[in-house]
Amino acid sequence: MHTNEKVAEVFLQESIRAFESMKQLADKTLIQLEDEHFHQALDGESNSMEILIKHMHGNMLSRWTDFLTTDGEKEWRNRDGEFESKSFNRQELISLWEEGWQVLFGTLQSLTADDVLSLVMIRGEANTVLQAIQRQVSHYGYHVGQMVFLGKHLASNSWTTLSIPRGQSKAFKPN
């Protein structure tokens, strides 16, 4: 295997790891919420957990379905509808959440080193596979951060931290 192929393989594996880490943070947030929390937003301009899940689901299905062969903004996607509350229950939302991630991971796991510099289209714009993946790492990281922030706010005093608890950093330093 040539150096470029090794780099491409490492990139694909690191991308999968980054998405897995994001999903894990969001999953650990979602399990801390009460059912009614899924429909609460901080204000009229903010998104609820329901909206964030629906938007990420729609984006994941659109971007990762037929990733190498069709534009990532599918004709069947109703992006505006993703931002309308439909009062889906917790189980329906978790099903959408899992479906989106399943499509993403299935696509990423199918890619090879030879695909990394191939061109894919997103909204009519050519991107290398590498660029398209990085675009989604950034996009999903942004929304997962919103989910964690909102979840922490909604869970309030019952929140269990997802990282090193305040005041305990020294316990996590290597000797």
Percentage of the chain with pLDDT > 90? 89
Quick one: tokens of 28? 């650990």
What are the structural domains of the chain?
1-158 (1.20.120.450)
**Is residue 117 scored above 70 in pLDDT?**
yes
What is the per-residue pLDDT across 88-101, written as a single tens digit (0 to 9) for each?
999 999 999 999 99
pTM comes to 0.94
Query: Residue 162 carries which DSSP code?
Result: S
Q: Are 29 and 53 in contact (CB under 8 A)?
A: no
Kindly give, in sequence order, each residue whose CB lies less than 8 Å from that of residue 40, ignoring residues fewer than 6 positions away. Answer: 48, 49, 154
Q: Are 163 and 41 in contact (CB under 8 A)?
A: no
C-alpha to C-alpha distance for 113 and 43, rounded to whole angstroms: 44
Quick one: tokens of 66? 């037929």
- How would residue 9 be classed by pLDDT, with cut points 50, 70 and 90? very high
**Is residue 169 scored above 90 in pLDDT?**
no
Query: Residue 164 carries which DSSP code?
Result: S
Nearest to 150 by CA among 52, 23, 35: 52
**Is residue 82 scored above 90 in pLDDT?**
yes
- The dihedral built from the CA positions of residue 8, 10, 14 and 17, taken in this order, carries a sign that is positive
| pLDDT for residue 174 | 77
C-alpha to C-alpha distance for 1 and 44, rounded to whole angstroms: 53
What is the per-residue pLDDT across 51-74, written as a single tens digit (0 to 9) for each?
999 999 999 999 999 999 999 999
**Is residue 131 scored above 80 in pLDDT?**
yes
- How would residue 164 be classed by pLDDT, with cut points 50, 70 and 90? confident
Kindly give, in sequence order, each residue whose CB lies less than 8 Å from that of residue 114, ignoring residues fewer than 6 positions away. Answer: 5, 8
Q: Taking all residues of the chain, what is their mean pLDDT, rounded to a whole number? A: 95
Rounded to 10 deg, the angle between the 90-110 and 49-64 helix axes is 30
| pLDDT for residue 175 | 67
Percentage of the chain with pLDDT > 70? 99
